[in-house]
Amino acid sequence: MVKATWNGDVIAESDNTVEVEGNHYFPQADVKMDRLVPSDTKSHCPWKGEASYYSIKADGVTNADAAWTYKEPKEAASEIKDHIAFWKGVEVG
């Protein structure tokens, strides 16, 4: 079981993560989406495509752009469609 925790709150928990480039991508169904707020931030990866970001809100504190997803990944990264990964102090393990 892999967990993503931030500010004392378990944000995601899954036995079905996909690990890509050292990041665990959690199925969206295993993420507490009520803790995530969509952001306008975007980035681009040459082989995965365009990433969209979320800020995390836990216990009244916001961690801006601390989660991301590839809503329409390129074919080479199709396994991470509808999955979310974390960074910026989010403990994953």
pLDDT for the residue 59: 82
In this prediction, residue 22 has a pLDDT band, given cuts at 50, 70 and 90, of: very high
In this prediction, residue 60 has a pLDDT band, given cuts at 50, 70 and 90, of: confident
Q: How far apart are the first and last CA of the chain?
A: 8
**Spatial CA neighbour of 32 closest among 67, 80, 77, 73:** 67
Instruction: Note the pLDDT tens digit of each residue in 30-58.
Output: 999 999 999 999 999 999 999 999 999 98
What value does the mean pLDDT of the chain take? 97
The whole-number average pLDDT for the span 60-83 is 96
